Amino acid sequence: MTLNRTEAASFKTIDSETSSASAVLSRGLWSDVWKRFKRNPIALAGFYVVCFLVFIAVFADFIANDKPYYLEYRGKTYFPIIRSYMVDVELGRWPAELLNVDFKKLEGAKAVFPPIPYRATGINLLEPLEPPSMRHWFGTDKLGRDVMAGMVHGSRISLSIGFVAVGIAVIIGVILGAIAGYFGSWADLVISRLFEIMLSIPTFFLLITVAALLPPSIFLTMAIIGMTSWVGIARFTRNEFLRIRNQDYVTSAIALGVSDRNVMFRHILPNALAPVIVSVVLGIAGAILVESSLSFLGIGVPAQLVTWGSILREASGATFAWWLAVFPGFAIFITVLAYYLVGEGLREVLDPRLRGLR
Amino acid sequence: MTAYLLQRLLLIIPTFIGITLIAFLVMRLAPGDPAELRAAGGLGAAAGAGISVEKRGAVDEAMAQWRSQYGLDQPLHVQYAVWLKNLATLSFGESFKDNQPVWNKIAERLPITLTLNAWSIIVVYLVAIPLGIYSATHPHTFGDRVTTLAAFVLFAVPLVWAATMALVFLCGGDFYYLFPPGGLESINFSDHWPLWQKIKDHAWHLFLPVVLLSYDGFAGLSRYMRSSMLEVLGQDYVQVARAKGLQEKTVILKHVLRNSLIPQVTILASILPGLIGGSIIIETIFSIPGLGQLGYESVLARDYPTVLALLTVTAVLTLIGILISDILLSIVDPRIAFGRRLQ
Amino acid sequence: MAPRFLLWMLVLLVLAGCGDNSEVKFPEMVGAAKDFGAPVTGDWLVLHTLSDPEQLNPLTSSDAGSSEVLAYVFEALLTRDPRTLAFKPLIAEARPEISQDKLTYTFKIRKDAKFQDGRPITGEDVLFSVKAIKCPFVNAPFLRVYYDSLVDAHLVDPYTIRFSIKEPYFLNESVLGAIAVLPRHYYDPDNLLAQVSVRDLTQDPAKLPDAVKQFGEQFNRNYSRDPLGSGPYQFNFWKTGREVELVRDPDYWGNGKEGIDQPYLDRLKFRVINNFDAALIRLKSGSLDYMEVLQPVQHVRGTNSQRFKQDFRKYEYYAPTYTYIGWNNDHPIFRDKRVRQAMTHLTPRKQIVESVLFGLGEVVDSHIYLFRPEYDKTLKTYPFDPQKAVALLRDAGWRDTDGDGVLDKVIDGETTPLRFEIKINSGNAVRKSVALVLLDELHKHGIAASVRELDWTIFLNDVKNHQFDAVVLGWQMSTTEPDAYQVWHSSQAANKGSNAISYKNDRVDEILEQYRREFDEEKRIQLYKQFQQILHEEQPYTFLYVSKRVSAVHRRFQNVEVFPDGLRPIDWWVPASRQKYGSTLTSR
């Protein structure tokens, strides 16, 4: 039907009203969610662990580094850690006397070091495979690298792999699931076949194949994990879309002539997100587990990087060095557990809630 | 009903083609030339002296001959078509590594991996279902929370870690010797042994691998069982049954259990793809000659025919599994069968 | 509910726990060196092998797994004395008669040698073995290439064979002597190769009769699993991926004959375990008797307990392989020999051997095996000296002009940082450690190097096509007379040859060519000493270290000795009182 401009404008207002209505619904929903979530002590504990890990990952350079925070040398003061950031982005340079120097061995210098005064990749052939001690709280690996520093910096890799891989999975999964659930009929048919294909392929095997055949790179690993784990999210999204599509506010939006894209992403999607959120959280846990398996098999991790999985791999070759197995293994375990608890807590809170809304 | 079956069967075909296409493309497009690998004497030749240049001409010719023998010099779509055609006659070609028919290699190892996985599926169900039932019938009690937490904890333990630790601490070596450090049978295993002794020996060897393969399934399945049972418990007809004065136990056994067990069938379909994946790590660490180990080695050796065959075989098995579970579900749960037609 | 599953778990546990906890009891190990008298037969040796053989065809298999096994099943015309490495006749009666022009070799064959099925070995079998190698349809192109120079062979009489060679090369005797003698009646029952001569086989394959093609296909396809030779051990079975078993041939033709290795052990079981840690665990628990290779960490920490020493003896010896860093001599950074020398000064080679190899190795400075007479002992090793390295780099024009911590130089008008990539292949933890240690040291001195780990086939491809700045690789050295032509001659740089770093030196080329034609050992040694001195100055590689190997053998085995080529299980035997598996030769 044809509309003149004023009519179109008024429809637009209605459109934004319905969408803001659902937005209000959403905002109210989430603060409610948080209140209920807090009542579950175990899930809350998991949440705090996750926050702690994120904090460590973000501030890794300030927690474990062989450069000091603060240095007084030859009458001048420096902030080496910050300066190294600046040099990396080419906004600064090292003064000649500090070029490639070992900060711990500077004569006549006063320095304040981070709590773990080592770099993750700092090789020290004089102290290989040392058990935990006052010098190295978690011991060292076969090249003398401090294990605690390795774990702190490794958390960055583990968490970023989790986020990015799941991010990719969410994008693919939500889009495909939305299309399948919204349009139904042959779009659903084709996309459901795609689900079946992805589900039937042995993903881990495929992962190994691809990761082993291509040059190792963190980005590639993230991408592959993401591209093989979107099916769960897609299915949930599809089911939600199928369910919500028949609700009144959606049918009325469609009748009012709101474009398909807007209906899908501004009306339905915010309400379909609940199971997706849960999948995201669980997916991060899964991605971290997969990454540790790949690292363990020696695939996908570039040689210079130290990740939790790569330290674990060393443990299998030096079984007496229990600290190489216990700490990273435990870290992976705690991280995955924390995410899982948060995910489950969220599911418990969101599920019955959604039912209530029906 | 038959119309539905037919429709499902027909839909398998595009799925199958999709799977094989993806598998094929992945293998072919990855860099690395199997001919060159053979020239270098396989993976072990990290330090060999190589071929001198004067003889290079002869070697290149030999490699070209070898490539054409295996059809590797044809354009991609031709190679794919040829492979599909062979598939129709159930011939997966010959392995690049040792010229053995690929199907033989797979058939040799298939029973082992199937046994391993069958047992682990059984163990998962045996443990998780009762756990789920217990959780559902005593919700939010201490016991429920503990079993839930225990299940999650198990899910979070990385398989590579658990397997390595088990191998080191329980299988001889420097600590305890409760289980054999891998393999399928003892060194003096003899075909003359009585059946029960053979079974005992195999069970002893498979115990750890099966347990390790199953422990992460406990969490998922028990949670699923718990939630489906809770859903059923909340239904009206259960209240009615209780109101009728039936004992709680009968209520559960006769009505609730059957209805909540039904969805568990669908989980089977999603466990199946893990057939090769989960096995890879276990089979490698415990030196078990199954499909997972074969898959890993074939990937490293660029043994295209074997990798493709493995991907296809697993995919087909999984598809069959999905189909069976779908059919079972629609037979058993009339709502779904009718519901589909309404959509 | 809960009790129900507990019950099931209990059942499973009981079933599993009923397994045998110790497979076979150890006989008591008391006392040290005791004289057990004369060697006796009996008992089994369970060896660890890292990978399953790809196939057991004597010609078409090229992997380490199969050669390990086939060495016991097949024999060649000549062999080497394990200690002196001098030629010893085996299937041949004596070393060959060589013509004045070095182009004809005549071997006389023993009349008392037999195959494992009892049939005697005749010249016909040797001729057949040669034809099989030369047959272009047999899937062994890389073996065939070594016999390129062999243009004809024919029987002078039923027990004498004469070879005709294209050009003189002092190693021809070795190459011809290494031909494995295959039974014609087994590998070519229809005598398909009878109609062609060796000379025919060197011609255009298209002109060969169909029977030859048929033979090739048959040989490739049907003989991968049941080898039959003349050696002391017969093939018994092969459980793919798990175990290969060889059984001693009680009717071995060499039994009791002088100069022939006598076998004592009844069975050789090669157990396939592709994981070193799992293998060590099995060694300790008694399911393995012999691990040829212990990882350095296992040697230093995992095998020194009282109990281990009671049951096993360890042997430490040099393995003839060396590891090196290859600099791409065509790369603008590495064209200058001062830069290469600086790199060698920056590599803490001794420290690497101490820490990464746990002392199981020795720094080397040459391509030649340490124990060969050709090895130049006067070479002065390059010390780890970062100061000298920085000075050399400065001479070569490298200094940090922009204060970013990385040295740079103006090349072709552009300021280029000293940045390059070291490639290594994945799956080798030791090489990875070496690369990382080097990296760390380089970073400390303003060199922005990086490491890239690649899958073996991709890596190999890059190396052969010269797509690299630097690589960490190794070569196998020969314990017998070396020939460095393939690796160092400039002609070998093109066309994917072994001179992957594109090394070119005219004097070295001359030396290498002259060496091959020199039949006088003293003169060869002198030539190679000059060759090593030139390489030492130019540092086209940074030679790293030669490896040492540690093997563990169960104490009950007697006569275990270290030879230049390693250990020789064929010599071992177990006294009757200590035999673990008994001495029946019955098959399963």
Q: For residue C379, is pLDDT > 70?
A: yes
Q: Indicate the helix (H) or strand (E) that contains A3.
A: none
Contact C352, C431 (CB under 8 A): no
Is the pLDDT at C550 greater than 90? The verdict is yes
Interface probe with A: pick from B8, B15, B306, most Cβ of A within 10 Å: B15
In a domain, A133, yes or no: no
Contact between residue C264 and residue C573 where contact means Cβ atoms under 8 Å apart:
yes
On whether both A93 and A44 belong to a single domain, the answer is no
Q: What CATH number is given to the structural domain containing A18? A: 1.10.3720.10
Rounded to the nearest 5 percent, the helix, strand and coil shares of chain C are 35, 20, 45
- The set of chains that have 3 or more CB pairs under 8 A with A is B, C
The structure tokens listed for B159 are 């398989």
Radius of gyration (Cα) for chain A, nearest Å?
A: 26
Picking from C333, C325, C296, the residue whose alpha carbon sits closest to that of residue C430 is C296
d(CA A28, CA A26): 5
Closest CA to A125 of C353, C345, C355, C361: C355
Listed by number, the residues of chain B in 7-26 with a beta carbon closer than 8 Å to a beta carbon of chain A are 11, 14-15, 18-19, 22-23, 26
Q: Nearest CB to A125: which of C351, C424, C451?
A: C351
**A319: chain B residues, CB-CB within 8 Å:** 164, 168, 173-174
In the structure encoding, which two tokens stand for residue C395, read together?
């001479």
Token pair 């398989």 is found at B159
SS3 A94: coil
Is the CB of B99 less than 8 angstroms away from the CB of C220? yes
Helix, coil or strand: residue C414: strand
Option in A100, A128, A298 nearest C426 (CB): A298
Share of residues in chain C with pLDDT > 70 (%): 93
CA nearest A209 in B: which residue? B299
Mean pLDDT of the A330-357 span: 77
Same structural domain for residues A158 and A9? yes
* Mean per-residue pLDDT over chain A, rounded: 79
CB contact under 8 A, A320 and C301: yes
CA–CA dist B56, B68 (Å, integer) = 18
> Please, are residues B169 and C37 in contact by the beta-carbon 8 Å criterion?
no
Interchain contact B324–A (C-beta under 8 A): no
A229 within 8 A of A257, measured Cβ to Cβ = no
Overall number of domains in chain A = 2
pLDDT of the residue at C6: 44
Give the bridge partners for C268, in sequence order: C45, C246
Domain-located, residue A127: no
**HEC per residue, C314-336:** EEEEEEEEEEEEEECCCCCCCCC
Helix (H, G, I), strand (E, B) or coil at C246: strand
Instruction: Verify whether the Cβ–Cβ distance B44 to C63 is below 8 Å.
Output: yes
Question: Hey, which chains touch C, using 3+ CB pairs under 8 Å?
Answer: A, B
Above pLDDT 70, what percent of chain A?
A: 88
pLDDT at position A21: 41
**Are residues A39 and A75 both part of a single domain?**
no
Which two three-digit tokens encode residue C170? 């002092």
Mean pLDDT of chain C: 86
* Same domain, yes or no: A105 and A223: no
What are the pLDDT digits (tens) for A88-119? 787 777 777 777 777 887 777 788 888 888 88
C80 within 8 A of C173, measured Cβ to Cβ: no
**A260-264, B112-116, C168-172: lowest mean pLDDT where?**
A260-264
A138 within some domain: no
Mind listing the pLDDT tens digit of every residue in chain B (343 residues)? 667 777 777 777 777 788 778 777 776 766 666 666 665 554 333 333 455 555 566 566 666 766 776 677 777 778 788 777 777 777 777 776 666 778 888 888 888 888 888 888 888 888 888 888 888 888 778 888 788 778 778 878 888 888 877 877 777 656 677 777 777 776 666 677 788 888 888 888 888 888 888 887 777 778 778 877 877 777 777 777 777 777 777 776 666 777 777 777 666 666 666 656 678 888 877 878 888 888 887 877 777 778 888 878 877 777 777 777 777 766 666 565 545 554 4
Note the residue count of chain C: 588
Are C145 and B55 in contact (CB < 8 Å)?
yes
Stronger pLDDT, A309 or C191, i.e. the higher one: C191
CB contact under 8 A, C437 and A87: no
Q: Provide the β-strand partners of residue C541.
A: C326
Residues A53 and A82 in one domain: no
Q: Do A266 and A220 share a structural domain?
A: yes
C61 residue type, one letter: S
Gyration radius (Cα) of chain B, Å: 25
Measured between beta carbons, the chain B residues lying within 8 angstroms of A292 are 158, 160-161
More confident residue, C66 or A210: C66
Q: Give the pLDDT confidence score for residue C544 in this predicted structure.
A: 94
Q: Using a CB-CB distance cutoff of 8 angstroms, which residues of chain A are in contact with residue C436?
A: 121, 123, 143, 303-304
Q: Tell me, yes or no, if A317 comes closer than 8 A to chain C by beta carbon.
A: yes
Pairwise CA distance, residues C174 & B3, whole Å: 74
Nearest CA in chain C to B291: C241
Secondary structure (3-state) at B333: coil
Pairing assessment for the beta strands C104-108 and C150-157 based on DSSP bridges:
unpaired
Query: Is position A255 within any domain?
Result: yes
- Domain annotation covers residue A17: yes
The one-character DSSP state at C405 is S
- Are the beta carbons of C180 and C75 closer than 8 angstroms? yes
The continuous run of DSSP H or E covering A293 comes out as helix A269-296
| Cα–Cα dist C221/C219, whole Å | 6
Tell me, rounded to whole angstroms, the distance of Cα A285 from its chain centroid: 9
Provide the 3-class DSSP secondary structure of residue C522: helix
What is d(CA A215, CA A302) in angstroms, rounded to the nearest whole number?
8
Indicate whether A47 and A166 sit together in one domain: yes
Which value, in Å, is the radius of gyration of the alpha carbons in chain C?
27
Residue A29, pLDDT score:
67
**Please, are residues B155 and A343 in contact by the beta-carbon 8 Å criterion?**
no
Say if residue A77 is in the same domain as residue A47: no
Lowest mean pLDDT among B103-117, C177-191, C351-365: B103-117
Question: Percentage of chain A surpassing pLDDT 90?
Answer: 9
Is the pLDDT at C131 greater than 90, yes or no? yes
Note whether A86 and A184 are same-domain residues: no
CB contact under 8 A, C297 and A318: yes
- If one compares C183 and B248, the residue with the highest pLDDT of the two is C183
Report d(CA A49, CA B247) in Å as an integer: 45
Substitution target in C274, C297, C406 with the highest count of A β-carbons within 10 Å is: C297
**Contact in structure between B127 and C9 (CB atoms under 8 Å):** yes
**DSSP H or E run through A354:** helix A322-357
* Within a domain: A131: no
Q: Which residue of C has its CA nearest to B138?
A: C1
| pLDDT of amino acid C543 | 93
Q: Which domain holds residue A72?
A: 67-112
CB-closest option in A99, A122, A318 to C400: A99
User: Mean pLDDT, to the nearest integer, of A268-286?
Assistant: 82
Tens-place pLDDT, residues A108-157:
778 888 888 888 888 888 888 888 888 888 989 888 899 999 999 989 88
The pLDDT of residue A17 is above 60: no
Lookup: tokens for A187: 């779009």
Give the per-residue pLDDT at C10. Answer: 45
Residues A55 and A71 in one domain: no
With CB atoms and an 8 Å threshold, state whether A123 touches C436: yes
Measured between alpha carbons, how far is C494 from C324 in angstroms, rounded to an integer?
Answer: 21
Whose tokens are 């490298």? That residue is C398
Confidence of residue C32 (pLDDT cuts 50, 70, 90): very low
Cα separation, A308 vs A242, in Å, equals: 41
User: Residue C334: pLDDT above 50?
Assistant: yes
pLDDT of residue C30: 37
Res. C194: pLDDT tops 70? yes
Question: How many C-alpha atoms does A119 have within 13 Å on its Cβ side?
Answer: 15
A70 and chain C in contact, CB less than 8 A: no
DSSP letter at B255 equals I
Q: Which two tokens stand for residue C561?
A: 């000795």
* Same domain flag for A273 and A331: yes
Q: What is the pLDDT of residue A262?
A: 78
Domain match, A95 and A198 both: no
Parallel/antiparallel/unpaired status of strands C78-80 and C87-89: antiparallel
Interface test with C, best of B43, B121, B123, B192 (most C CBs within 10 A): B43
Which of the four pLDDT bands, split at 50, 70 and 90, describes residue A40? confident
Q: Domain for residue A344, yes or no?
A: yes
Residue A288: closest CA among B279, B161, C426, B282: B161
What are residue C316's DSSP bridge partners?
Answer: C550
Interface test with C, best of A104, A121, A123 (most C CBs within 10 A): A123
Confidence grade of residue C23 (pLDDT, cut at 50, 70, 90): very low
Evaluate whether ipTM surpasses 0.90. no
Q: Check if the beta carbon of residue A287 is closer than 8 Å to that of residue A229.
A: yes
Beta strands in chain A (DSSP E): 70-73, 76-78, 110-112
The residues of C whose Cβ lies within 8 A of any Cβ of A are 276-277, 295, 297, 301-302, 348, 351-352, 354-356, 400, 402-405, 424, 426-427, 429, 432-433, 435-437, 439-440, 443-446, 450-455, 458
pLDDT confidence of residue B97? 66
How many contacts does B have with C, using Cβ atoms within 8 A? 231
A204/B274 Cβ within 8 A: yes
Q: Which of A23-32, A158-167, A256-265, B118-127 has the lowest mean pLDDT?
A: A23-32
Closest among B266, B267, B273 to B327, alpha carbons compared: B266
Q: Which helix (H) or strand (E) holds B56?
A: helix B53-69
Does residue A322 form part of some domain?
yes
Nearest Cα of chain B lies from the Cα of C256 at a distance, in angstroms, of: 31
Q: Which of A213, A329, A337 is nearest residue B161 as measured by Cβ atoms?
A: A329
Task: Specify the pLDDT at position C5.
Answer: 42
